[in-house]
């Protein structure tokens, strides 16, 4: 049964899509079966995975609006080793078309249930705003990975995002929780970075991943080649950071499963 993780932040430009693509590739490199769900009409995760959003016959739009099975829409991300449920500009229309649909916020959850056994991890790249698409992503997820920079305004945005997650948990998806907080574009030489990082540890403790993603030119260059960083330059600091994050996520999941089994046998 797949672990469904939404990568989210209501603030743009924090490395959310970069995280989704590179984490998918890193988990796949660790022999995990991975589906990346691009829930952003910009289609950046689709293009960054090596899939041309302009030449799609079908996309996630057709899954959400027309009820097409994911198995017939998902495509392989080439040598990266994971599958992509792609998106393009058509997805913008989905919000309007879903307004009058029953259980509109559960459309993605229902669709993912049909491929749940095919994957170990399903990663959802949410848009940088709270809309019907983001809502679908969070209702479908088991947990949220929050990608954020260590800067002052990021803390304000984080409190708003936490309220959103709390509201969805109370009203639509009781299982939803913060899976982890990932510090991106990290520069330890910056005093504000260290101050914000300390505050995150103080408030969220073990929820903050030990792995940090540094500012890295290779991470920025890789999407223009349609490749995750590890397939563009596997020795880059960015690629190594996402491999470390994948390992950390797998270990957390193993620990969770072990605790659940121990509880079961008591």
pLDDT interval class at 266 (50, 70, 90)? low
pLDDT interval class at 265 (50, 70, 90)? confident
3-state class (DSSP) for residue 210:
strand
What is the rounded radius of gyration, in angstroms, for the C-alpha atoms of the chain? 18
Condensed to tens digits (0 to 9), the pLDDT of residues 53-63 reads 999 999 999 99
Whole-angstrom Cα distance, residue 73 to residue 91?
A: 14
pLDDT (0 to 100) of residue 175: 93
Phi-psi region of 226 (alpha: psi -120 to 50; beta: other; left: phi over 0): left
pLDDT (0 to 100) of residue 155: 80
pLDDT (0 to 100) of residue 151: 85
pLDDT, mean over the chain: 93
Both tokens assigned to 43: 């289609």
Both tokens assigned to 256: 């969770």
pLDDT (0 to 100) of residue 120: 97
Bridge partners, residue 146, by sequence: 8, 181
Beta strand pairing status for 83-85 and 75-76? antiparallel
pLDDT interval class at 10 (50, 70, 90)? confident
Condensed to tens digits (0 to 9), the pLDDT of residues 95-121 reads 889 888 899 999 999 999 999 999 999
Whole-angstrom Cα distance, residue 123 to residue 34?
A: 8
Contact 221, 232 (CB under 8 A): yes
List the domains of the chain with CATH numbers: 3-265 (3.40.50.300)
pLDDT at 138 over 70: yes
Contact 89, 266 (CB under 8 A): no
User: b vs e for 69-82, b when ≥16 Cβ sit within 10 Å of the residue's Cβ?
Assistant: ebeebbbebeebbb
DSSP state of 142: S
Angle of helix 152-171 versus helix 191-204 axis, rounded to 10? 20
Whole-angstrom Cα distance, residue 226 to residue 223?
A: 5
Condensed to tens digits (0 to 9), the pLDDT of residues 78-87 reads 889 999 999 9
pTM here? 0.95
pLDDT at 44 over 90: yes
Tell me what the mean pLDDT of segment 145-163 comes to.
87
- Edge to edge, the sheet with strand 143-149 lists 75-76, 83-85, 34-38, 121-125, 3-8, 143-149, 177-186, 208-214
pLDDT at 256 over 90: no
pLDDT interval class at 232 (50, 70, 90)? very high
3-state helix, strand, coil in the chain (%, to 5): 55, 15, 30
pLDDT (0 to 100) of residue 99: 84
CA 241 from centre of chain: 16
pLDDT (0 to 100) of residue 264: 65
pLDDT interval class at 252 (50, 70, 90)? very high
pLDDT at 262 over 90: no
Condensed to tens digits (0 to 9), the pLDDT of residues 13-37 reads 889 999 999 999 999 999 999 999 9
Whole-angstrom Cα distance, residue 208 to residue 229?
A: 23
pLDDT (0 to 100) of residue 152: 79
pLDDT at 263 over 80: no
């Amino acid at each position: 049964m797949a672990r469904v993780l939404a990568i989210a932040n209501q603030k743009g430009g924090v490395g959310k899509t970069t995280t989704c693509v590179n984490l998918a590739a890193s988990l796949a490199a660790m022999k995990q079966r991975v589906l990346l769900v691009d829930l952003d009409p910009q289609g950046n995760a689709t293009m960054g995975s090596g899939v041309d959003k302009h030449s799609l016959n079908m996309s996630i739009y057709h899954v959400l609006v027309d009820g097409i099975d994911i198995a017939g829409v998902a495509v392989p991300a080439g040598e990266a080793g994971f599958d992509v449920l792609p998106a393009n500009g058509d997805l913008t229309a989905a919000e309007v078309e879903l307004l009058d649909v029953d259980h509109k916020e559960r459309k993605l959850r229902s669709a993912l249930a049909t491929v749940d056994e095919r994957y170990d991890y399903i990663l959802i790249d949410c848009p940088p705003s709270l809309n019907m698409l983001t809502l679908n992503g969070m209702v479908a997820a088991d947990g949220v990975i929050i990608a954020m920079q260590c800067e002052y305004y990021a803390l304000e945005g984080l409190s708003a995002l936490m309220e959103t997650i709390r509201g969805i948990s109370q009203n639509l998806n009781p299982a939803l929780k913060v899976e982890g907080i990932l510090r991106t574009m990290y520069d330890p030489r910056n005093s504000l970075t260290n101050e914000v990082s300390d505050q995150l540890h103080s408030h969220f403790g073990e929820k903050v991943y030990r792995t940090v993603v540094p500012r890295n030119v290779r991470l920025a260059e890789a999407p223009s080649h349609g490749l995750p960083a590890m397939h563009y330059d596997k020795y880059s600091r960015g690629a190594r950071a996402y491999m470390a994050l994948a390992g950390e996520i797998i270990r957390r999941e193993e620990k969770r499963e072990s605790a659940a089994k121990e509880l079961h046998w008591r």
